[in-house]
């Protein structure tokens, strides 16, 4: 798909140690996810791949770089923070009713949509 990317960091033997993916649009790069191989925390591979990514994005002319979610990192002090929110829209249908009814048994702690459907902080408005 246009704008989507995936980059990786590998060892000399070719084994992947970090992968990162996101999308580029309108001179903005958004990083949606990152996975690091377990057992390498002391080597800061997350910092390494992000620094390579920043160099690359600057070289290709990107003007903004966003990291969506993730673990807080000391690198966050180098960026401007902005308020963000999610907007979820649902229709009134039997399938939505059933999903909300069974959401508690579908492991919502691992699923953003189910967490949103069950959250007492979410205010649903009928329009």
3-state SS, the chain, equals CCCEEEEEEECCCCCEEEEEEEEEECCEEEEEEEEECCCCHHHCHHHHHHHHHHHHHHHCCCCEEEECCCCCCHHHHHCCCCCCCCCCCCCCCHHHHHHHHHHHHCCHHHCHHHHHHHCCCCCCCCC
Q: What's the mean pLDDT when you consider all of the chain?
A: 83
Report the alpha-carbon distance of residue 49 to residue 105 in Å, rounded.
37
Average of pLDDT values for 51-67?
92
Of the two residues 42 and 10, the one the predictor is more confident about is 10
Averaged pLDDT for residues 52-57: 94
pLDDT band at 68 (very low <50, low <70, confident <90, very high): confident
Residue span(s) of the chain under CATH 3.40.630.30 come to: 4-78
CATH topology of domain 4-78: Aminopeptidase (3.40.630)
Q: Would you say the pTM of this structure is higher than 0.75?
A: no
C-alpha Rg value of the chain to the nearest Å? 19
pLDDT bucket at 94, cuts 50 / 70 / 90: confident
Look at residue 88 and tell me whether its pLDDT is greater than 70: yes
pLDDT of residue 73: 60
């Amino acid at each position: 798909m246009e704008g989507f990317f995936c980059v990786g960091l590998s060892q000399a033997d070719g084994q992947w140690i970090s992968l990162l993916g996101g999308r580029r649009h309108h001179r903005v790069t958004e990083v949606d996810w990152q996975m690091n191989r377990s057992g390498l925390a002391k080597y800061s591979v997350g910092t390494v791949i992000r620094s390579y990514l920043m160099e690359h994005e600057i070289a290709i002319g990107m003007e903004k770089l966003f990291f969506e979610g993730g673990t807080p990192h000391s690198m966050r002090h180098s960026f401007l923070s902005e308020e963000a929110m999610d907007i979820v829209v649902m229709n009134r249908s039997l399938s939505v009713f059933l999903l909300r009814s069974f959401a508690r048994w579908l492991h919502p702690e691992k699923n953003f949509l189910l967490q949103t459907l069950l959250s007492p902080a979410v205010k649903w408005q009928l329009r």
